[in-house]
Structure formats: C-alpha cells, structure tokens
Structure 1
Amino acid sequence: MMSLLTALQATQVEALPEDAAAAEPVATAANAAAPASLDLLDLVLKASIPVQFIMLLLVVASIASWVIIFRKRAVLRRAAREAEQFEERFWSGAELSKLYSGATERGRTLGGSEAIFEAGFREFNRVRTRRGVDGRAQLEAAQRAMRVTTSRELDGLEHNLELLANIGSTAPYIGLVGTVFGIMVTMNSLLASNQQVGIKDVAPGISEALLATAIGLFVAIPAVWAYNRFASGVERLAVRYDAFAEEFSSILQRQAHVDD
C-alpha cells in the first residue's frame, strides 16, 4: 500500500514539467500569430523603379501644393485686410482728392479696393480735363478703368489655383498608375520564379503597390480642400470689389452731374 502511494505522488510531481512544456508551444504560436509592424520606409525602398519614380513625383506635387496653400492663404488674408482698411477710410468722409493723393504716393503698392479707386478716379480726372466731354463719358471711362483693375486684381488672387486644382484631381490617378505598375512587376517576378507561391509571397509586392495609391490620396485631399476654400475666398472678394466699384461709380456720377 505504501509503495502504491509513493508511485502516485511521483506521477503527480512529474506531470508539472509536462504541463509547462506543453504551454511553451502555445506561447510560441501566439507570438508568431501577432501581426508584424508596417514599415513604410522599407516598402518604399523595396518598391520597383517605376513605382519609386511615381512616389517621388507625388512627393514633389505635395510639396508644391503646400507651398501654394501657405502663400495663397497669406495673399487672401492680406487682400481682405487691405480692402477692409481702405473702405473704412473711404466711408469715413475723407475727401476723394486726399485719398487719391495718398494712393499715388511713391513707393506704395496698391491692391484691392484702393487700386480700383485709384484707377477709376485717375481716369475720371483725365477725361474731365478734356474739352467738350460730358459727364456720361467721364463716368464710362472711370467704370472701364475700374473693371480692368478689378480683373487684374482677381487674376492675381487666382494665380496658381489652377495648379492646385490639377494636383488635387490627378494625384489619385497617378498613385493608381503606380499601383498598377507595382502589381504587374510583382506578378511577373512570381511567374518567372516557376515556383508555387502563396499569400506570403504576394503580400509584400501588393503592399508596395498600394502604397502609391495611398500617397496619391494624401496628396489630393489637402489640395482639393484648399482649392475649394480659396476659390470661395476669391469669389467673396470679387463680390466685394464689384460692390465697391458700383458705389464709387454712383459717387462719380453725382460729381459729374454737379460739374456739368
């Protein structure tokens, strides 16, 4: 009886190392099943030459779009601020001749509403000095000058917006071209190996190819958003310039009538 109990105790003690040994393969399998981290730089370096060229092209387009975004943001803010400041002086009751003298000072760069005012008032005074010219001709000349200046101001505000729109609309398609090239290169290399392949053999090449599409989307989204925002800002300034030109035309019309 004592020998039987001793044998049972020995059996229980020896079962513990077996359980620990059985737990080791489970832990190893769990570690193997953990997903590997995605190394984007490694994907770029291992991509084919056409895909790398397309990625480089997208990076250059992204840099250009961000340069345009920051510059255009500063330009539109300055234009809105200058228009507000001049219109405050204009409607404060200051004399037109004093405003014109201040606008024509040397070393000053005119823009926005002030440039429209300067062009209209200059043309109005120039035509008024001619003999036999009625008030309607003076007003029409001033309005033409203001329309030309308004068009020039808006053209400056819209500068590079077309490039921003082109980047936003074409970047996804350029990235898709890189994806197509990447998949083609991957498939050709696997077919040339004449070996049975699995998902582990295809996945790296597909990941490299899809990275080009992802870069294209990251380039396009900020460009499209910025274009829509800046286009709305330019449109608001255009409405503001047109309204100021109409109001100034009314003032010149009354002044031409008094002179007549």
Structure 2
Amino acid sequence: MPPLESFLSPGLLYGLEHGSLTCWVICGLLALFSITSWAVILSKHFLLSRVQKANLSFLREYRESNHALELYQQREPHEYSSFYHIYHAACRELSWYLLGEDEPGSTFAARLQGAGRITPSQMGAVQVAMERSVAEAALRLEARMGWVSTSLSAAPFLGLLGTVWGILDTFSTMTTAAGGATLSTLAPGITTALVTTVLGLLVAVPSMICYNALVNRIRGMVVRLDNFASEISAGFDRTFVDHRFSNEALPSLSALGTPSMPAFTGSSSSPIPSAAASHAMHARV
C-alpha cells in the first residue's frame, strides 16, 4: 500500500510539517466536522435504502391484499417501512370509529362484518391521523441532517480563520526578523496559513454534494409518503364512509319569504310604456 504522503501535494505536506498550534487546533476541528459529517451521511444513506426497500415490500402487500384492513388484522410489523406506520395510524383511527377499539382482537373480523360506516367528519379524523404520521415519518428521515449542514457551512469559515490567523503571525514575524524578511522566512507561515483553507474546502465540498443528494432523496420519499396517504384515504373513503344525505328536511319555499323587489322611481315626463303600447309601436314601425 502506498504511503499517505504520495496522495498529498508537496505544498500541503510542507504546510503540515511547519504547522503552528493554531493551525493544528483548526485542523483538529475540521477533522471532527468531517468525521461527524461522513458518519451521518453514510448512516443516512443506508437508512434511506432500507426504508425504500421496506416501503416497496409493504406497498406490494397492501395492493395485493383482499381487504383494506387485512394487513392491519394480521398485525405483522414492518419496522423500517414508513408506509406501514402511516397505514397503521389510519387503521387504528378507523377501527376506533367502526368498532370502538383501536387494536384488532380475536373477534375483529367477525365484528367488522356487522359494522356500519363512518361519517365524513370521522373520516376527517382518520386523515388527520395519517397527516400526523406522515409528518413524523418525514422528521425521522430528516433527523441529524443538521450536522451535515453545519459541517459544510462552518468548515470554510474555520479554514478562512486559520488562514487569516496564519497571515497575521507571518506579518508579525516579518517585523521581528533579523536582517529583513526573506522568502525562506515567510514561506512556512504563509504555507501553513493556506493549509487550513485547503482542508476546510476538502471538508465542505464533499459534504455539500452528499447533503444535496440526500436532501433530494428525502424530498422524493416525503412526496411518496403523501401520495400513499392519499391512496389510503381514497380507498377508505370509498369503502367505509357513508355519503348519503341526512334526513333533515329542507325548508319550504313559504318559509323563505317573498323576494323584495325595488320600487321604480321614474320621472313623470317619461312614463314607462305598457306592454301593449310597446307592441303597437313596433307594429307601426
């Protein structure tokens, strides 16, 4: 295996060899940000892949089921499927309004056969439960992404801080150097100052690329969560909601009263012609 020095530029190696205490402190902070960022990026990548695979598996089972509550009655958990948690939250709320219980018991199927239907307002409560579950699933998918955002935002500024600090130290060395400042006396300080900027960019650029890729991936998954919730809502609405009109009678026309017509206030010099006079006028023309 080739040594690490073969992958680094000579200028970067020179700057690290002559690094000051401030440079090493900033490099240590940058390394900490980099480790944290990559740990979150890799764990989030594997988590999203697992969630996506579990969602596809549950979606296939849901669409192949014979009844909308069949998977809920089986009580087979899908831990990594966000679709399952949305479906389970909707089924719990629906079961409460249909049967008065939020967990399927031994007589769940038999009681469901004799259950009636729910009202549109009760279906609204089921939709609220699904929306709440979608929001919780989105928060779980976006968890710890702030660490990556902080790393890609803070790393360039830390590198710039180290550069400015190193240049200030270099100027201080110029004023105290015996015999005048030469290139050999200024090179270590300037090179060390630029090292922190290079390391800051090496931390920020990969973090920014991975962060944007993960954010776009999470947004796509959240959209699919909303679409799945809409699919469940439409299926439940067709199967379990009673959309018949209520028995409340409409008020009669007499109870509404007579319409009020505004009185016409015309001048006496231009009376309104009657219908017969108007007809005779047109006949003469």
Closer, same or farther: CA 85–146 of 1 in aligned 2, 3 Å:
same
Q: Which residue of 1 aligns with 2:152?
A: 168
Q: In the aligned structure 2, how far is the partner of 1:46 from the partner of 1:110? A: 50
- Distance change in 2, residues 1:185/1:94 (3 Å): farther
Whichever structure has more helix as a proportion of its residues is: 1
Instruction: Give the deviation of 1:46 after TM superposition.
Output: 2.4
Q: Deviations over 1:61-112 (max 9, x none)?
A: 001111011001011111111111111111124323321134x347x63531
Q: 2:86 corresponds to which letter in structure 1?
A: I
Partner of 2:217: 233
Count matched residues: 222
1:183 to 142, 167, 170: 167
> How far apart in 2 are the matches of 1:138 and 1:82?
30
Give me the whole-angstrom Cα distance separating, in 1, the residues matched to 2:116 and 2:178: 94
Spell out, residue by residue over 1:36-66, the C-alpha distance to the aligned partner (whole angstroms, 9 max, x if none): x726455324222112111110011001111
Pairing 1:234-253 to 2, within 5 Å after superposition: 234-253=218-237
On the 8 A contact 2:18/2:188 being kept in 1, the answer is no
Unaligned runs of 5+ residues in structure 2 are 1-8, 101-114, 245-285
Match of 1:112 in 2: 82
Name 2:104's counterpart in structure 1. none
Q: Which residue of structure 1 aligns with residue 121 of structure 2?
A: 137
Read off the aligned partner of 1:145 and give its amino acid letter.
Answer: A
1-structure distance, mates of 2:49, 2:21? 42
What's the C-alpha RMSD, in Å, of the aligned pairs?
2.3
Q: Take 1:60 and 1:45, find their aligned partners in 2: how far apart are those partners?
A: 20
Q: What does residue 257 of structure 1 align with? A: 241
Q: Distance in 2 between matches of 1:252 and 1:68?
A: 38
Select which of 195, 211, 222 maps to 2:195.
211
Equivalent position of 1:127 in the other structure: 97
Alpha-carbon displacement from aligned partner over 1:155-196 (angstroms, at most 9, x marks no partner): 011011122112112211110100111111122123112421
Give TM-score scaled by structure 2 length: 0.72
**In the alignment, which residue of structure 1 is the partner of 2:257?**
none
CA distance in 1, matches of 2:13, 2:34: 18
Residue 85 of structure 1 aligns with which residue?
57
Query: Among 89, 96, 110, which residue is 2:68 paired with?
Result: 96
1:211 is displaced (CA, Å) by 0.5
Rounded to whole Å, the distance in 2 between the matches of 1:171 and 1:231 is 19
Q: What is the CA–CA distance in structure 1 between the aligned matches of 2:73 and 2:24, rounded to whole Å?
A: 58
